[in-house]
């Protein structure tokens, strides 16, 4: 009987240690460490501006920095169109600038990490596009004399651009068919000459 008691004791202690050990290790993992000061961040060494720029999530070593820097080129090209006459400006191009600027400005503030530099460049793109669309609209109001006619004219310009693109696409397909037919004939002649 004593052997049996010893076996029960061994079985019971092994069960307890098998079930208790994982929970004990979890408890030690999730325990907060104690610090000697109330605010550990207060004792951290202050980083210079350049150190923060270098180690930041949106710092100089990342695409989150260089993409907005390069996108400023698009803003500058759009701003250079301020010196062009309004009749030479494209409505569709400037509406695209307005739309992408507005959408991406909001998106840059939602994503992680928040990229304020990218939000700023997209907001500038929105402003440039809005100014250009305003110039086009005021030019069309000056030509037609009424706001509703200016809207119709701008709508026709947009639709006309789409029709031009559609016609140009059809012409390109026809040209490709002609070129392909000419290639087939040349290859047939070359094959006949070899034989």
Average pLDDT rounded to a whole number, residues 137-150: 84
Beta carbons within 8 Å of 125's beta carbon, 6+ residues apart: 71, 74, 75, 78, 97, 100, 101, 104
pLDDT at 1 over 60: no
Q: Kindly report, residue by residue over 86-121, the tens digit of the pLDDT.
A: 888 888 889 999 999 999 999 988 988 888 889 999
Predicted confidence band of residue 152 (pLDDT cuts 50, 70, 90): confident
Residue 9, pLDDT score = 60
Mean pLDDT, all residues of the chain: 79
Closest CA to 125 of 159, 156, 95: 95
| Distance in angstroms (rounded) separating the CA atoms of residues 118 and 125 | 11
Q: Kindly report, residue by residue over 114-138, the tens digit of the pLDDT.
A: 888 899 999 999 999 999 999 998 8
| Distance in angstroms (rounded) separating the CA atoms of residues 98 and 115 | 19
Residue 62: how many CA atoms within 13 Å on its side-chain side?
Answer: 14
The reported pTM is 0.56
| Distance in angstroms (rounded) separating the CA atoms of residues 45 and 191 | 80
**Comparison of pLDDT for 3 and 177, the residue scoring more:** 177
Note whether 117 and 58 are within 8 A (CB).
yes
Residue 193, pLDDT score = 86
CA angle 112, 103, 58 (to 5 degrees): 30
CA 190 to chain centre: 51
pLDDT at 26 over 90: no
Residue spans per domain, the chain: 55-145, 147-195
| Stretch among 21-30, 61-70, 100-109 having the lowest mean pLDDT | 21-30
């Amino acid at each position: 009987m004593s052997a049996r008691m010893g076996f029960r004791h061994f079985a019971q202690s092994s069960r307890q240690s098998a079930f208790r050990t994982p929970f004990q290790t979890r408890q030690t993992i999730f325990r907060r460490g104690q610090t000697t000061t109330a605010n550990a961040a207060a004792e951290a060494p202050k980083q210079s501006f350049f150190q923060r720029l270098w180690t930041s999530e949106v710092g100089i070593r990342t695409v989150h920095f260089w993409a907005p820097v390069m996108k400023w080129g698009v803003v500058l090209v759009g701003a250079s169109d301020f010196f062009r006459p309004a009749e030479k400006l494209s409505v569709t191009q400037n509406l695209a600038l307005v739309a992408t600027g507005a959408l991406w400005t909001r998106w840059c503030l939602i994503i992680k990490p928040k990229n304020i530099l990218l939000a700023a460049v997209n907001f500038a793109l929105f402003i440039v596009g809005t100014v250009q669309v305003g110039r086009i609209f005021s030019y069309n109001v000056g030509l037609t004399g009424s706001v509703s006619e200016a809207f119709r004219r701008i709508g026709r310009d947009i639709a006309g651009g789409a029709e031009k693109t559609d016609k140009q696409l059809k012409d390109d397909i026809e040209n490709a068919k002609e070129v392909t037919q000419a290639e087939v004939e040349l290859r047939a002649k070359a094959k006949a000459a070899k034989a």
